[in-house]
Structure 1
Amino acid sequence: MAIIVSIIIRFAGGSIFPETTKKLFTLISELDFTEVLMGAMLNFLLFAGAIHVNFIDLRKQKLPVLTFSTISVIISTFVIGFSLSYITPIFGIKLPFLYCLLFGALISPTDPIAVLGILKKANVSKSLETKITGESLFNDGIAVVLFAVILQLTHTSEAAISFGSISWLLAKEALGGLLLGVLLGYSASKAMKGIDDYIVSVLITLSVVMGGYLIAHSIHISGPLTMVAAGLIIGNYGKREAMSIVTKDYLTKFWELLDEILNAILFLFIGFELLLIPDFETYWIISVVAIVVVLFARFVSIWIPMLIVPFKPKLNKGSLIMLVWGGLRGGVSIALVLSVTDPDYKELLLEMTYLVVVFSIVVQGLTVGKLSNKVQLPEPKNKPQAS
């Protein structure tokens, strides 16, 4: 709804409500969407999503989740980068190769918030749901590091970043974030075990999210992966060993409610970010082409691992279709593109990103449920609660 409202305001608001539209433009331009999402909302949403994931189900799908959240992101980034570097000159657009790669890095990760919201209503098998959910929760870490490395390369003509430094940065961000998350989740679970008070337990989980992000940010490791790991530990070990039935029920309902509220706010922000694009009509053709390129890259990044990685059981054609179409993009991509400062290319990157995200949420999101009913999937959906 926010996206539809923003489109109406973008194209008709200036003539119908000129003063109100002008004030709204000013208000939104002053909002630091990148900081609001990456520094606050994303941490709560990732924790809320991870706390409901059954670790046993996730462990069964560990190889596909690990593959799709790492190798597939890298493949997609380079497929998009090389494709756009050849396609953009056809439309008279000069976009350097590094900026094509930069777009590939920011648009390749599937968005956990969009994915989790859509999968609640889609009729997909439990194993496939776990693959898509697990990938979306874990792929932000490597995508953010890739984006940061490529962005740094765009600012220097000297390739001061070696393969070793990139590998170390990836390992530090990912492994450090996971380790911190496990420690925080285990410590919080132990603290809750000796209390058995649902109000205090909720406050402990809130402190894990807020304090965990500050610690991760201060020691330069992945905040998103910290939240995912902490949520998985508390949602599985904590619920099983440290919570009474009453506490477990209240904690689950609290995070479900917070998840719904923050999702609504996030999609409102995504809708209004459209108003920041000054000349939306300038790059709309290449933006439509970018949608096709991103979907093609998603297909290649899933198809290649399916050919060479020994998944058990092997993924079938229906799973491939659902993994491609169910890989939604969302607020994370918009937050990353808004952090690009180069005025020569920011408008183009922003418009391409926004159109891909809108298409992903509106078209893919609204049709993924119907598509799952037409595609033959290996098993009926079953949603056991994390114990």
Structure 2
Amino acid sequence: MHEETATMLSAFDIAALLVVASALLGWFNHHFIKLPHVIGLTVMGALAAIGLMVADALIPGVTLYDQVTEVLQQMNFTETLLQGMLSFLLFAGALHVDLDRLKTAWLPVLLLSTVGVMISTVLVGAATWGVGSMLGLSFAPIWYFVFGALIAPTDPVSVLGVLREENVPQSLQSAVAGESLFNDGVGIVVFIILLGAAVSGNEFSLSEGARLFAIEAGGGILVGLVAGYFGYRALAGMDEYTLEVLITLAIVMGGYALCSQLHISGPLAMAVAGLLIGNQGVTYAMSDVTRDYVIKFWELVDELLNSVLFLLIGLEMIVLTITGEVLLFGLIAIPLTLIARAIGIFVSTKTIPAARLQDKGAGRVLWWGGLRGGISVALALSLPPGETRDFILAGTFAAVLFSVLVQRATLGMLIDKLKDGKAPAVEGDGSSTAPSIH
């Protein structure tokens, strides 16, 4: 009993280990490997996991592998990620979305983040169910749709950097950012509803799922509007950057805690609150000094949390039970998610004339630029332990690694191929001309 208690780490100890590991590996990558930050952390986390396994196998008395495995198993990902990190990630992402530009593409963004997410969830769930049946897997069919829901959200952080570098029109950048922001919130709501049914073992009812979705999503949007409004009023009444940064923290932590108590969608609430603060608050309620501090503070929070999550992608290889079936499931998940994403985009932006995006080639950029990232990883890591979790983690890691290592690396080349001629200058970029996507 004494030895078991002695090995238990506090939440602070675990957080400290992850931050220190992220910093050390990030420093090593910056100076020697020179990969993009999150890619470098993912690769080095995987290499570290493999190194620990090899060291344990070859060197007698080395137990680092067992110690790291124990630390990872001690983490309560459901509490840490779903109840904490996601609120910060979504608020930080929403701060950078231009609401005025988003309004011009509101219908395709709405359809992509709702209809597109639902289509992707159903298609990936049905396809992986078929794969699981062929592999002889015994877990309940609803778990495949849980995987479909968690892999549907996209991460705008990496792709927006590429779009800015390629001087892509701001309208397309706003559509990508807006879709990613809201499909995160919608995907998480769908994931929570499906996961609840999967864990309880109750038969999933479409009508009950729709009712829960309406309550969670509607309630989250309402709380986000209220929190954002009161936050804006508080920010407008002062000019003290330290206190104003604290107010934005209070909006996120207090608003998310309230949503948890009310059993409504905290992620959607934080997305809406972030939009209000990032547009009304930044424009009308902050001085230049405060604006600079607030934006940079949340950029650092976003970078830190994404660093930890992508490091965990690599390290979690340690606790995966890798079999031939698990590996095959992960590899098959890559084309399935790409195909489902393509169909979701086509249905959302081509079937209704008013929802068509004006930038030619936008559909292909949205498809190949629909990177999976920290949100999907966070949701996968929050699953209860067991064989089901191993398969879903393998599918998630494979899709995320492919999107980060392949899609992000080749997105610029795709955009270059789509460029044809010159278009008017992108507003606010200071250049005289900007390529049009065709």
TM-score if structure 2 supplies the norm length?
A: 0.80
Q: 1:318 aligns with which of 348, 352, 361?
A: 361
Aligned to 2:28: none
Q: CA separation of 1:262/1:10 partners in 2, compared to 1, >3 Å: closer, same or farther?
A: closer
Cα distance in structure 1, aligned partners of 2:355 and 2:120: 23
Q: CA separation of 1:384/1:150 partners in 2, compared to 1, >3 Å: closer, same or farther?
A: same
Q: 1:70 aligns with which of 114, 122, 145?
A: 114
SS of structure 1 residue aligned to 2:63:
helix
Aligned residues: 384
SS of structure 2 residue aligned to 1:99:
helix
Q: Does 1:275 align with 2:318?
A: yes
Aligned to 1:24: 68
Q: Does 1:214 align with 2:257?
A: yes
Q: 2:47 aligns with which of 8, 26, 30?
A: 8
Q: 2:127 aligns with which of 83, 91, 102?
A: 83
Aligned to 1:180: 223
- CA deviations on 1:4-60 (whole Å, 9 max, x unpaired) are 123223334322364223322222221223432222222122212211221101111
Aligned to 2:91: 47
Aligned to 2:434: none
Aligned pairs (5 A) from 1:1-387:
1-16=40-55, 18-94=62-138, 96-112=140-156, 115=159, 121=165, 123-155=167-199, 159=203, 161=205, 163=207, 165-279=208-322, 281-311=324-354, 314=357, 318-341=361-384, 343-376=386-419, 382=426, 384=428
Q: CA separation of 1:169/1:350 partners in 2, compared to 1, >3 Å: closer, same or farther?
A: same
SS of structure 2 residue aligned to 1:159:
coil
Q: CA separation of 1:7/1:259 partners in 2, compared to 1, >3 Å: closer, same or farther?
A: closer
Structure 1: which 5+ runs fail to align?
A: none
Q: CA separation of 1:114/1:175 partners in 2, compared to 1, >3 Å: closer, same or farther?
A: farther
Q: How many Å apart are 1:95 and its aligned residue?
A: 5.4
Cα distance in structure 2, aligned partners of 1:100 and 1:157: 14
Q: CA separation of 1:329/1:381 partners in 2, compared to 1, >3 Å: closer, same or farther?
A: farther
- CA deviations on 1:318-342 (whole Å, 9 max, x unpaired) are 2111111111112222232333337
> Match for 1:68: what amino acid?
L
Cα distance in structure 2, aligned partners of 1:38 and 1:156: 18
Q: CA separation of 1:203/1:383 partners in 2, compared to 1, >3 Å: closer, same or farther?
A: farther
TM-score if structure 1 supplies the norm length?
A: 0.89
Cα distance in structure 2, aligned partners of 1:217 and 1:359: 33
Counterpart contact for 1:9–1:21, Cα < 8 Å: no
Counterpart contact for 2:135–2:325, Cα < 8 Å: no
Cα distance in structure 2, aligned partners of 1:308 and 1:316: 16
Root-mean-square deviation (Å): 2.6
* Greater displacement, 310-319 / 262-271: 310-319
> Match for 1:151: what amino acid?
L
Cα distance in structure 1, aligned partners of 2:234 and 2:365: 41
Cα distance in structure 2, aligned partners of 1:79 and 1:381: 39
SS of structure 2 residue aligned to 1:283:
helix
